[in-house]
């Protein structure tokens, strides 16, 4: 008696725990949650009915209610596999479960008065000559569950084979001894443990798929963001008389520069893989504000007048505004802020004489300080509508002279130390405007 009670309490606790998890888990829809809860509640009910049948109340006054309870138990328990299969998302499970329950209920109700499947005696219930019918219905249901697991496993690339094996082992260990020896009544414990194993593994498979889908969505978003930034940047460069290779070159410069800085221990605590990826992705947006600058000024072949220069300087402020207008709603705040900082502050200078805000030293965001070095270098060695490209040795000399006033001296030092890498990029992604006297 104590053993029956202990098993019943254990099964009830397991099923309550499973139900709480189902209700709190976001990976299942309402229908799946209902199926799981119905499964766990049915297991707890059948276990409690089994305990009631063996608790010693077999007086004549209890025979009718106990008979009704056992009929329900024997009708529901073969349907447990159908209920769980419904939670796996198989079609028509509601109809199949109801139909199978109806067949079992009809069989049990008809046989109960004739004590064909079971009867209550002085030693709880005794198995009748037709008890094998109940065992057969149970086995059909379990076989159905295994088939359902295999079918449902197709969408998980059959990663649930381990679950099927565990379920078979546990069920065989619990049910086979009970069919051989009617003194053993551990079938529902085996069913409860198996349902926990099935649920835990299925839950893990669903979580894995949710994570995989999330990663795919993030990848698609990242690709979309890259196409937006690159496409917009190339549009701006074409207005500025460029071919779009300035965007490609500066992106390559910035990636190499930031990796060199990290390798040299310069701002290494900030330059994480995530930071580098953001910088490489958003570098093309640095001149996006030029879209709001007049073509008359942007393409002027000669030197700009003071008022024209003031007008073109506004592209830095415009850049931050354009970034937020274009990317708002398709990315997060970190991405927006990073892109805005690059577009707004890449013309600031280390000594405070830059624009638009005259920031000084480390007041300038690190991403903008890195962008400045890459942007200025490419501007020096590239032809513009108002001047020819500088020879490489002269450009490198100017980069060195600007260290500590225009550029962050630490970043400039790293650039100069590895200048051959940037020269190689410029030669590889050229546009036939580089002078030959290098």
- Residue 288 CA to its chain's centroid (Å): 31
Q: What is residue 434's predicted lDDT score, i.e. its pLDDT?
A: 41
- Whole-angstrom CA distances from 423 to 157, 215, 383, 402, 404 are 49, 37, 15, 18, 22
Assess whether pLDDT exceeds 80 at residue 212.
no
Distance in angstroms (rounded) separating the CA atoms of residues 318 and 392? 32
Q: Which of 131-140, 307-316, 391-400 has the highest mean pLDDT?
A: 391-400
Domains of the chain: residue spans and CATH: 2-213 (1.20.1070.10), 240-428 (1.10.3210.10)
Q: Is the pLDDT of residue 117 over 80?
A: yes
Helix (H, G, I), strand (E, B) or coil at 89: coil
Rounded to whole angstroms, the Cα distance separating 406 from 348 reads 8
CA within 13 Å, CB half, 314: 12
Task: Count Cβ atoms below 10 Å from residue 333 Cβ, excluding itself.
Answer: 8
Residue owning tokens 């219930």: 125
Looking at beta carbons, which pairs linking 17-25 to residues 24 or more positions away fall under 8 Å? 18/195, 18/196, 18/199, 21/199, 21/203, 22/199, 25/203
217: left (phi over 0), alpha (psi -120 to 50) or beta: alpha
Report residue 385's pLDDT band, with 50, 70 and 90 as the boundaries: low
Tens digit of each residue's pLDDT (9 = 90 or more) over 340-349: 999 999 999 9
- Could you give the CA distance from residue 322 to residue 145 in angstroms, rounded to a whole number? 57
pLDDT at 419 > cutoff 70: yes
Tens of pLDDT along 125-174? 677 888 888 888 878 887 887 788 777 777 666 555 665 566 666 556 55
**pLDDT at res. 423:** 93
The pTM assigned to this predicted structure is 0.54
Q: How confident is the model at residue 432 (pLDDT cuts 50, 70, 90)?
A: very low
pLDDT tens, position by position, 215-262: 777 777 777 767 777 777 766 666 655 545 888 889 899 999 999 999
- How many whole angstroms separate alpha carbon 220 and alpha carbon 225? 9
């Amino acid at each position: 008696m104590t053993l029956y009670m202990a098993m019943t309490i254990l099964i009830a606790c397991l099923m309550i725990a499973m139900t709480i998890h189902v209700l709190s888990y976001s990976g299942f829809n309402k229908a799946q949650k209902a199926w799981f809860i119905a499964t766990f509640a049915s297991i707890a009910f059948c276990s409690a009915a089994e305990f009631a049948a063996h608790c010693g109340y077999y007086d004549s006054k209890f025979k009718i209610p106990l008979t009704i309870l056992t009929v329900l138990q024997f009708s529901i328990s073969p349907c447990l596999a159908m209920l769980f299969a419904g939670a796996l998302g198989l079609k028509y499970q509601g109809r199949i479960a109801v139909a199978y329950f109806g067949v079992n209920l009809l069989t049990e109700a008809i046989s109960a008065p004739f004590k064909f499947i079971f009867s209550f005696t002085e030693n709880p219930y005794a198995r009748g000559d037709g008890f094998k019918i109940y065992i057969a219905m149970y086995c059909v249901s379990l076989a159905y569950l295994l088939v359902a697991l295999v079918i449902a496993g197709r969408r998980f690339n059959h990663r649930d084979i381990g679950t099927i094996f565990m379920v078979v082992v546990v069920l065989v260990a619990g049910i086979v001894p009970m069919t051989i020896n009617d003194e053993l009544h551990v079938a529902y414990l085996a069913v409860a443990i198996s349902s926990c194993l099935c649920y835990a593994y299925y839950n893990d498979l669903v979580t894995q798929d949710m994570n995989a889908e999330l990663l795919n969505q993030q990848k698609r978003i990242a690709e979309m963001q890259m196409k937006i930034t690159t496409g917009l940047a190339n549009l701006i460069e074409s207005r500025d008389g460029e071919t779009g290779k300035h965007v490609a070159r500066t992106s390559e410069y910035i990636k190499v520069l930031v990796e060199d800085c990290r390798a040299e221990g310069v701002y290494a605590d900030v330059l994480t893989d995530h930071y580098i990826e953001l910088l490489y992705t958003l570098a093309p947006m640095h001149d996006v504000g030029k879209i709001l600058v007049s073509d008359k000024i942007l393409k002027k072949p000669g030197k700009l007048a003071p008022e024209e220069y003031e007008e073109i300087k506004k592209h830095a402020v415009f850049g931050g505004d354009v970034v937020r207008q274009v990317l708002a709603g398709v990315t997060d705040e970190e991405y927006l802020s990073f892109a805005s900082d690059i577009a707004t502050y890449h013309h600031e200078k280390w000594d405070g004489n830059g624009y638009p805000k005259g920031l000084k030293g480390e007041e300038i965001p690190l991403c903008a300080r890195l962008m400045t070095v890459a942007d200025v270098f490419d501007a020096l060695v590239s032809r513009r509508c108002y001047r020819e490209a500088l020879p490489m040795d002269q450009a490198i000399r100017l980069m060195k002279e600007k260290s500590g006033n225009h550029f962050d001296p630490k970043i400039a030092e790293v650039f100069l130390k590895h200048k051959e890498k940037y020269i190689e990029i410029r030669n590889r992604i050229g546009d036939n405007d580089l002078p030959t006297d290098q």
